[in-house]
Every structure is written in structure tokens, then in C-alpha cells.
Amino acid sequence: MRYGEFDTASLMYITNRPDLVFERGEGAWLYDHNGKRYLDFIQGWAVNCLGHCPAEITDALVKQAKTLLNPSPAFYNGPMVELAGLLTANSVFDRVFFANTGAEANEGAIKLARKWGKLHRNGAYEIITFDHSFHGRTLATMSASGKAGWDVMYAPQVPGFPKADLNDIASVEALITDKTVAVMLEPVQGEGGVIPASPEFMQALRKLTRERGILLIVDEVQAGMGRTGTLFAYQQSGIEPDIMTLGKGIGGGVPLAALLATESVACFEPGEQGGTYNGNPLMAAVGVAVLRKLLSEGFMESVRARGEYLKQRLLELSEKHGLKGERGCGLLRALILDDDRGPAIVKAALEMDPQGLLLNAPRPNLLRFMPALNVSEGEIDQMIEALDVLLKK
């Protein structure tokens, strides 16, 4: 497609993008090059947790951009220290390593577990992961993921990621050998179709991993940072994992991710982990602004209330159209359809006139909702009304 004097074909063809260019965003709304507006229930893939261009983030960016961009990862900077302090004060973890993407944070978690295995488990390196899981797009995180077809796409895989079944503790137990160093899971499988690990399963996993002397790693890149109704999803099952990764929401739209570990597990030695942009103050300042907002009086209560409201409205819609219900936690939810029309609904929602709606179907038989955490009830109502029309067709 032509765009001014340029052409979209200059970009590598890595996904089917619609013929429109987004130029501006504000709160729950996005505007394309024709001036058409879209109600956004994707929010950059659960990334813009405070909506498009919130004042908290733009102010933090402008202020930090005028102060210090990047002194180098070999030096401390203020926002990096502040963000790490806020994260450890509000979680069970003691040490933080900042990264730029969720996949990079997960790579760090894999390396940290392998290092720990070298020190404490005779070089054990296998990390049990789960069918349908998603951990990122680097070679190791693709190998850790349980996505169909990913095992052969860039063969050979990185070895050491046997797959168990979510919510089936016996399937995990059966895979533990003297080579096992950890179990890694998403507390709510996001890309897999919004499938929560049950609190009982999380508790059983914690018990099993403790008994066997192996680590428990939670990938909260999608589920963390308030998305599921608590600051971190692991808090809902009352367990204490050894390692956690964060991404997406922590940057509110800018590239920021984090690897957190408890004191006894944080065993990297100088020179074993790093990265040019890791902990840069520009992104860390945004992380501070985002986290302070999430921690502010009443914010998480309102996320839970909006999550409950979205749930009720989706259930009504399901009942009305004879669908198969809904599932999820907080503001990460899915409506289960009666057939595989998910992609067709997503396309029709985008093309609605005069106002489009942005939805996502991680699997053809369901629609996923990941609005900004400060989405209003009125915006939820507008989305439901649009979806009601689409479901009638």
C-alpha cells in the first residue's frame, strides 16, 4: 500500500497487516491515516496498560529524555534503582535484572536456572514447560514454547524443554529426572487461549518443585503488572515462586521487561548476563511511572471491578447468542464461540463503520480481550454493543 511517498512493501512480510496505518492514539482509541477511529481492546497486545499516550508515561518520557538517556549498563542510574526497589518491595523477589522484551527476560530466566543447576544440581539443565505455552520468539524461548509447529520451524531446537500438560500435576511429575532444574509456566496461558492454571495446580507445583529441589519460574510477561486483577498473578494462588519474568504492561507501551529472582537463586556472577540497553533510564523511568500508578490508592480495586464488569457483560452476550461462556482473570478474558468464526469477527470488527473495534482471536474459536487497565464501563459497553451486532451476522 502507498503511504505518502513511501510503500508498506519496504517492510518484511512477517504478518498479514490490514491496509491502514495507525497515526495517533488516545486512551482506549486509535486513529488511522483516514481519520477513522477504533475502540482498542488489544492495546498493543496487553502492553498499553494505561491506554494510549497517558500523561503519566509521556511526562515521564519527556522529563527523563531531557535529563539522561543512557549512561551505559555498566553504571547505576536513578530510575533503574528506583524501579528495582519498587518491584522487590512489592513482590517476594529480592533481585532484578532489566531487559527490553519478554523473550529476553525469559532467556535470562533460562540462563539463571541453568547456572543454578550447575551450582546446586550437578549440571541439571532441563526446564519442564507446557503444551500450548508461549514464552517468546528467540530460539531458546521458541523451544520452551508449546506452540504447534514451532518445534520444526527453525530446527534444530535448543534442547532441554520437555512439555507437560497444564493443570495436570502427574504429567509434570512424570517428566522430572535428575536432569531437571526447573518448571516454567504462565499463570494464565495468554497466546494459548486465556487458560488459567488453577490455584490448586499452582500450589501442587510449588509443593512438588520444593520436594524435588527444583525451581519454579512464572512467566508473567502477559499476566503480570495488574492484568489479572492483582499486581502479579502468582499472588492469587498464595505461592512464592523462585523466578518471575515481566514484560508487556511494565513498559506501558515502551520496550521494557524484567527478570526477578529470590536471593538464593540470583546466582549470576559479573560478566554472565548483560545487554547494551538493559536498565536504561529512559525506559526504566516509564516503568516507575507505570508501577506507581498501579500501586496508587484504589487502582487495583478498580481493575478488579472492571474485570468483573467485563465478565458479566460477556456472560450476557454468551447467553444471548448461545455461545460457550467466557473465562479469564481480571482484564485478560476470552469469549468462547460456538464455532471457528473468531478471525472473521476480528476482521468485521476492524471494518465496522463509522467506528472500528480492535479485537484478537488467539484461537479461531475464541475472542480475547485485553483492554487498558483503566478502561471505563462506558467503553466496555460500547465494545459489547458492537460485538452484539457482529455476532448477529
Ligand X SMILES: *Cc1c(COP(=O)(O)O)cnc(C)c1O
220 among annotated binding-site residues: yes
Interaction between residue 134 and ligand X (CB under 6 A): yes
Binding segment (CB under 6 A) for ligand X, from list 131-139, 300-308, 318-326, 332-340 = 131-139
Residue (219 or 242) nearer to ligand X, CB: 219
Whether the CB-CB separation of 43 and 359 falls below 8 Å is answered with no
Q: What is the DSSP letter of 269?
A: P
Residue with cell 475464541: 366
Interaction between residue 229 and ligand X (CB under 6 A): no
Closest approach, Cβ 57 to ligand X, in A, equals: 17
Interaction between residue 103 and ligand X (CB under 6 A): yes
Residue (136 or 160) nearer to ligand X, CB: 136
Residue (214 or 250) nearer to ligand X, CB: 250
Whether the CB-CB separation of 182 and 113 falls below 8 Å is answered with yes
Q: Are strands 163-164 and 22-26 parallel, antiparallel or unpaired?
A: unpaired
Interaction between residue 160 and ligand X (CB under 6 A): no
CA–CA distance from 85 to each of 82, 287, 352 (Å)?
5, 12, 45
Closest approach, Cβ 245 to ligand X, in A, equals: 7
Residue (221 or 349) nearer to ligand X, CB: 221
Q: Considering only residues 160, 190, 229, 307, which one is a binding residue for ligand X as defined by CB under 6 A?
A: 190
CA distance 67 to 281: 9
CA distance 233 to 329: 9
Q: Considering only residues 61, 144, 221, 289, which one is a binding residue for ligand X as defined by CB under 6 A?
A: 221
Closest approach, Cβ 317 to ligand X, in A, equals: 25
Whether the CB-CB separation of 13 and 336 falls below 8 Å is answered with no
Closest approach, Cβ 333 to ligand X, in A, equals: 15
In the beta sheet, which residues pair with residue 218?
Answer: 185, 244
Residue (102 or 330) nearer to ligand X, CB: 102
Task: Residue 210: count other Cβ atoms within 10 Å of its Cβ.
Answer: 14
Binding segment (CB under 6 A) for ligand X, from list 18-26, 132-140, 173-181, 287-295 = 132-140
Instruction: Name the residue among 86, 5, 20 with its Cα closest to residue 350.
Output: 20
CA atoms lying within 13 Å on the CB side of residue 37:
8
Dihedral of the CA atoms 117, 119, 120, 121 (nearest 10)?
40
Interaction between residue 226 and ligand X (CB under 6 A): no
H-helix or E-strand spanning residue 377: helix 377-392
Number of residues that bind ligand X (CB under 6 A): 15
Whether the CB-CB separation of 382 and 356 falls below 8 Å is answered with no
Extract the annotated binding site for N(2)-acetyl-L-ornithine: 137
Q: What residues are designated binding site for pyridoxal 5'-phosphate?
A: 102-103, 134, 219-222, 276
Return residues touching ligand X (CB under 6 A).
Answer: 101-103, 106, 134-136, 186, 190-191, 219, 221-222, 247-248
Residue numbering of the annotated binding site: 102-103, 134, 137, 219-222, 276
